[in-house]
Amino acid sequence: MILYTPLSESDIFPSSENAYKNRECINYNGKMIIADKTDDGSYQMVQLISTDPQDYLDQRYIPGTFLS
Amino acid sequence: MNKEEEEKKEDQSNSSSLVQKIQSLGQTNVVQAPDSNIHVLTIIGQVEGHMQLPPQNKTTKYEHLLPQLIAIEQNPKIEGVVILLNTVGGDVEAGLALSEMIASLSKPTVSIVLGGGHSIGVPIAVSTDYSFIVPTATMTIHPVRLTGLVIGVPQTFEYLDKMQDRVIQFVINHSNIKEEKFKDLMFAKGNLTRDIGTNVVGTEAVEYGLIDEVGGVNEAMKKMNEFIANNKSSENQVIQ
């Protein structure tokens, strides 16, 4: 299939809602974190929401890490 | 017996968490950096309002930012806030809410427009005590638009016009741009292909008086430290 359109690919083929169903906003160590819930019930970090720049240098809040 | 067993269990869980820490970081203690006296608020993607956008959109949610602004205001250790903007715009009322919150903070605020500070990003950028724009950043100024169900009556236009007026009033009250000039930019034809408005780039935004200065992180931090020093000296005077 060849598409010729000014629309972006995601407009024509919207990603399924299920892909983001597991995304939650949680409180972890007093920080607001957006995380994906994995099948085994643990959380994998997606984004840290904080105004403290030092939080972003903290090894514990690197996106992709599993929160215990 | 029971107590002993419990203690044993606790010991085991303690040692297992220690093992986990060593495995993940190679050390037991995470070195804590000192608390920063300047906090950073990033406004990225779309400014999300009452409608939740599909999750593939990058959004800034006001329900995340408003409590943080209150926390900043209340925390005596925080002496200033830097607002980083790279936004395509979004909900008018959510954007105005953020702008008003930033404008009414008692602590010094400095904004840097990076990449883009379009549409509702304009009032957010000018809401701070001092605003910077990097030379390559742009700001699109255009009339307010309405999506969703629109009733084709004259009142709809009036509603839209009033909403637009709130944005215009906020911008002219918090920046050095003249109302006439801002409206000229907003309703200009031929600047945007097949659309009404103007795309203002770095230095132009400063020339129009919309933004205070062209500069990046270095200039913003210098300005912030200047504000903090001024605040401290005025506090000392009051005590004396």
| Total domains in the fold of chain A | 1
C-alpha angle B212-B213-B218 in degrees, rounded to nearest 5? 130
The pLDDT score that the predictor gives to residue B176 is 94
The average pLDDT across B104-120 equals 95
Write the CB contacts of B10 (distance below 8 Å, at least 6 apart in sequence). Answer: none
Domain CATH code at residue B211: 3.90.226.10
CA pair distance B147, A28, nearest whole angstrom:
37
Domain extent, residue A33, equals 17-67
Residue in B119, B127, B131, B175 annotated catalytic:
B119
- Known catalytic residue: B118? no
ipTM: 0.75
Residues B26 and B81 in one domain: no
The Cα-based distances of A4 to A62, B89, B181, B194 in angstroms read 39, 28, 40, 21
Quick one: B174 and B212 in the same domain? yes
- Check whether residue B44 and residue B135 sit in a common domain: yes
Domain extent at residue B54: 38-236
Give me the pLDDT at residue A64, please. 87
> Reduced to 3 states, what is the DSSP secondary structure of residue A48?
strand
User: Is the domain of B24 the same as that of B47?
Assistant: no
Is residue A26 domain-resident?
Answer: yes
Q: Please tell me whether residues B20 and B99 are part of one structural domain.
A: no
pLDDT digits (tens, 9 = 90+) for B53-73: 877 788 999 989 999 999 999
Q: Which residues of B touch A20 (CB under 8 A)?
A: 55-56
Single pTM value for the model = 0.81
Q: Which two tokens stand for residue B91?
A: 């909900």
Report the number of distinct structural domains present in chain B.
Answer: 2
Indicate whether B125 and B19 sit together in one domain: no
Nearest to B33 among A50, A54, A68 (CB): A54
Question: CB distance A53–B38 less than 8 Å?
Answer: yes
Q: Which pLDDT band, with edges at 50, 70 and 90, does B16 fall under?
A: low
If you average pLDDT over each of A49-58, B146-155, B160-169, which comes out highest?
B160-169
Q: Is the pLDDT confidence value at A48 over 80?
A: yes
8 Å CB contact of B72 and A51: yes
Mean pLDDT, rounded, for B19-48: 74
Question: Are B143 and B199 members of one domain?
Answer: yes
- Specify whether B26 is located in the same domain as B135: no
> What does the pLDDT read at residue A16?
74
Q: Which two three-digit tokens encode residue B209?
A: 């008086």
- First and final CA of chain B: distance in angstroms? 66
